[in-house]
Amino acid sequence: MAVWSARKSKGQLDAPQRRNAAATPPSDTTLPATTGWLLRGKDGRLTAYAPTTEGVLRWTETRPGGPEWSGPDLIPAPGVLPYLSIAQGADGYVHLLGLRRARLADGRTGVDVVHALQYQSGLAVRDWHPLGTPYPRDPDLAEQIGLPSGVVNAQGSLHVFVRNACAGVCGRSQGSSGRWGKWADLKGKGVLGTVSASTTSEGLMEILATTADGIIRWEQETAGMDFQRAEDIPAGAAPDSLTAERTGGNRLTHFWHDADDHMARAWRPSTKEPITLGTGTGTGPVALLRTPVEGNDCTILARRDAATGRPALAAYPTEHESLECSWTLTGEPCAGAPALAIDGRGRIVMAAFGTDGTLRVARQKAESGLALEAWARV
C-alpha cells in the first residue's frame, strides 16, 4: 500500500490505498514518543503523521480549518522502525526521518538513516532515500547508533543528527544544491536517547543532548559555521523529552521533563537555573506553540499526563515562566505524545492518538481565553 496521486513519476510512491480509520496504534512502546507530527502546509491544511510497523500513516484536512479529513493513507516504509522525526522548512516541505534495519548477506544487520520528502499537503511523497550512518564500513558499529532527529535551517537545508556508537553526536547536512555532505563528529560523550535540534529566528542551529550528568549543548555563532560546544545545562532531563521553541529575539527556550520528578522544566541562558512549569508530571516530549491569545504573546504547551495518560494543556505569557502555569487535563488517555498547531482559520489545535490508534483533534473555541471544543475522532 502507498500514498498518493494516481499519477506516478520517478522517485514517487504508487497511488494510495486507504486504511481503515481505526489504525494500528502509532508507536511501539519500546521506542520513544515524538511530537511535532501535526503540521500546516503552505495551503493552510493540517497534516498528521504516525509511524506504524507497516509504514507511516497520514491524515490530511480536506480544506483549511477542517473539520473533515482524508486518510489515513499509508506511506510504505519497509524495514523502517515505527519511529518518526519530522522537520519542516519555511518552504512548507515536510522531511520524514527514520531508521531502517535490514538483514545483510552475512547474517548481520544493516542500518541506514532514511529520509522521505513531501512537497505539498496531500500530494506525492518521494521514495525513502538512505543517508547511511557514520560507520559505512562497520555494520556492528552502525547497529549501535541512536534514532535520528532533523532540523531545517534558514537556507532550507536539512540537517540530521544521531547518537553515535561512542555515545557522542554525529550529524550530516544537505547543501543548497541538494547534495549531502559526509557525516561529521560533533564529539560529546555519555549521550542518552535522541538528540534535540532547533533553529533560532535568525536560522542559527542549536543541538542539545541528555546525559546522566546534565544536558550538553552545541550552537552556531554564525550561519554556515561549524558547531561549537556551548555551556552545559545543569539539569537532569529524561531521555527523549527535549524540545525547544523560539521565544524572542534570537533566543530559544528549551523544555523537558525532569529525569527524577518528571515535572516540566524550561531553560534559556538568561534563566541560569531551569524553571519548573506548574505541578503534576508528564511523559515524553512537551509539545510547544508560540502564538497570541487575546492579543498576548503566549507559549502553549501540551504533554501526556503521567498519572492518567490523558493529554494535558498549559499556557503562560512567553518568557514569563515565573507566572503560574497550570496544566489542564483534556480528552481520553492517549498513546505517545500530543501535538499542537495553528489551523487555517488561526485556531490553536491540539491532536493526540487514542490508545486504539485513532486520531483525535480538539480546536480552540471561538471565545475569549484558551478553551478547546469537544474532541473529535477523525
pLDDT in tens, the chain (378 residues): 222 222 233 333 333 445 544 455 444 557 999 999 999 999 999 999 999 998 999 999 999 999 999 989 999 999 999 999 999 999 999 999 999 998 888 888 889 999 999 999 998 888 999 999 999 999 999 999 999 999 998 888 999 999 999 999 999 999 878 899 999 999 999 999 999 999 998 889 999 999 999 999 999 987 766 899 999 998 999 999 999 999 988 899 999 999 999 999 999 999 989 999 999 999 999 999 999 999 999 999 999 999 999 999 999 999 999 888 899 999 999 999 999 999 999 999 999 999 999 999 999 998 888 999 999 999
Question: In this structure, which amino acid lies at residue 266?
Answer: A
Per CATH, the number for 38-377 is: 2.120.10.10
Burial of 251 (0-12, 13-18, 19+ CB in 10 A): middle
Which pLDDT does position 203 carry in this prediction?
Answer: 86
> Backbone phi, then psi, for 99, in 5-degree steps?
-125, 125
d(CA 252, CA 246): 5
Give me the helices (H) in 99-196, please: 139-142
Exposure string for 87-111, b = 16+ CB within 10 A, e = fewer: bbbeeebbbbbbbbeeeeeeeeebb
Dist. CA 47–CA 43, nearest whole Å: 11
CA–CA distances in Å: residue 235 to residues 34, 169, 240, 282 = 21, 19, 14, 17
Q: In sequence order, what are the residues at sequence separation of 6 or more whose Cβ sits closer than 8 angstroms to the Cβ of residue 211?
A: 189, 190, 191, 192
DSSP 361: E
| CB-CB neighbours of 30 under 10 Å | 8
196 CB-side CA count, 13 A: 30
Q: Looking at residue 225, what is its pLDDT? A: 66
CA dihedral 328, 334, 340, 343 (to 10 degrees): -110
What is the Cα 322 distance to its own chain's centre? 27
- pLDDT value at residue 1: 20
pLDDT at 148: 98
- Whether the Cβ atoms of residue 120 and residue 77 lie closer than 8 Å to each other: no
Nearest C-alpha neighbor of 286 from the set 297, 300, 275: 300
DSSP secondary structure letter of residue 364: B
Query: Which residues, including other chains, have CB under 8 Å from residue 261's CB and lie 6 or more apart?
Result: 281
Handedness of CA 38, 43, 45, 47 (dihedral sign): negative
Output the pTM of the full model. 0.91
Residue closest to 230 by CA, chosen among 199, 206, 211: 206
Burial class of 29 by CB neighbour count within 10 A (0 to 12, 13 to 18, 19+): exposed
Residue with cell 471544543: 373
Reported as a single tens digit per residue, the pLDDT across 255-308 is 999 999 999 999 999 998 999 999 999 999 999 999 999 999 999 999 999 999
